[in-house]
Amino acid sequence: MDDTTADGAPRTLLITLTGKDRPGVTSSIFRTLSHAGVEVLDIEQIVLRRRLVLGVLVSAPRDWRKLRDAVQETAASMDMTVEVDRGVGDNRARRHGRSHVTVIGTPLKAAAMAAVAGRIADSGANIDRIERMARYPVTAIDLHVSGADPEILRGLLASEAARQSIDIAVQPANLLRRGMRLIVMDVDSTLVQGEVIEMLAAQADCEPEVARITEAAMRGELDFEESLRARVALLEGLDAASLDTVYDALELAPGARTLVRTLRRLGYRFAIVSGGFSQITDRLSEDLGIHFARANELEIVDGRLTGRIVGDVVDRAGKADALRQFAAEAGVPQQAVIAIGDGANDLDMLNAAGLGIAYNAKPVLRDAADTAVNVPYLDAIMYLLGISREEIEAADAEAGIVTPSPPIP
């Protein structure tokens, strides 16, 4: 549609107001607009460091100059700056290929954002809106992008993320991001720091041997089941009380409790699927409020480990099978499942999910996953879901949970 009438008058006006934010600014502008009887076609407003930017697209009245003068007078009375642009289009829907591009950096430098914006422009896409998800302990920015296929955009930005040492996630802008989802997590080096079997090996004085086998298995150089049985065999004779010692020494990944607590409030379901041991994961599930869990069971006879596994081993394929089963039990389609892992044996599980996240992962998984998060905070994953740090802290405050205040830059 032409943005001017036959006699050259504008059909629309874009009013952009900037200045120090204070109560009553928005209401004053709309009060002025109401006297002209115009229709509001689009509106966006942000406040950045107490500076307001308000954009309003309205239908142009017959005497549009009179409205322009009235808006300028209102802005001047509040010591604000205003621009009134003629014939700037209507509120047509944004173009096809809509995506959320989440950028996470520690720190996030201007050069990195310039590179990201450049790659988006190279794809023919446009950045329609930018929102801050977090400023501490990481900086997370969510870009609303239109005009490019998300898969093509993901490929372009993955290489840029590596060059800039930042994390970038590209997700289609659809209803899945807003719905109830199932989070399926690996345990060792994902939900908890370190490897449980190595902690048990330390109790059995065979840690170096077990660590070498573990590292090779996580790199995909050894069959997981074969490597697990070989490592467990080294634990033969270990007092079962060592399991309690190891559990008490476990350290959760930073942000793990915040992730589970916050998303449970939104109705999310959680599962842990581990190549580790049920004697540990069952207790973790109870402690954190995890809905589903699957892991290997260590055989214990007369209070000591026999060096054997009871039943089938939860290997790479077994993790993916568990994901599908838990999704069915939770009534969640696989496209609404988020899988998080760090090693080669998580690959099938991540491929089976709608969104696979490599968390501080080995290269073999990081290169194959939908996206990678390389900051040491598990709750940073919530920024990929459109949940801001301010919203998380506000929900915790309502529940009486106090979070440390971030430093003021």
What are the strands of the beta sheet with 99-105, ordered from one edge? 126-134, 139-146, 99-105, 167-172
44: β partners:
55
Name the nearest CA neighbour of 291 among 333, 326, 245, 261. Answer: 326
Q: Fill in the amino acid letter for 336.
A: A
- Which residue in this structure is represented by tokens 């996030």? 108
Name the nearest CA neighbour of 43 among 15, 1, 75, 78. Answer: 15
CA distance 29 to 46: 15
- Show the DSSP H helices in 331-385 as ranges: 347-352, 363-366, 381-384
Active-site residues, by number, are 186, 188
Name the nearest CA neighbour of 365 among 220, 222, 228. Answer: 220
Q: Fill in the amino acid letter for 112.
A: A
* CA of residue 172 relative to chain centroid, distance: 13
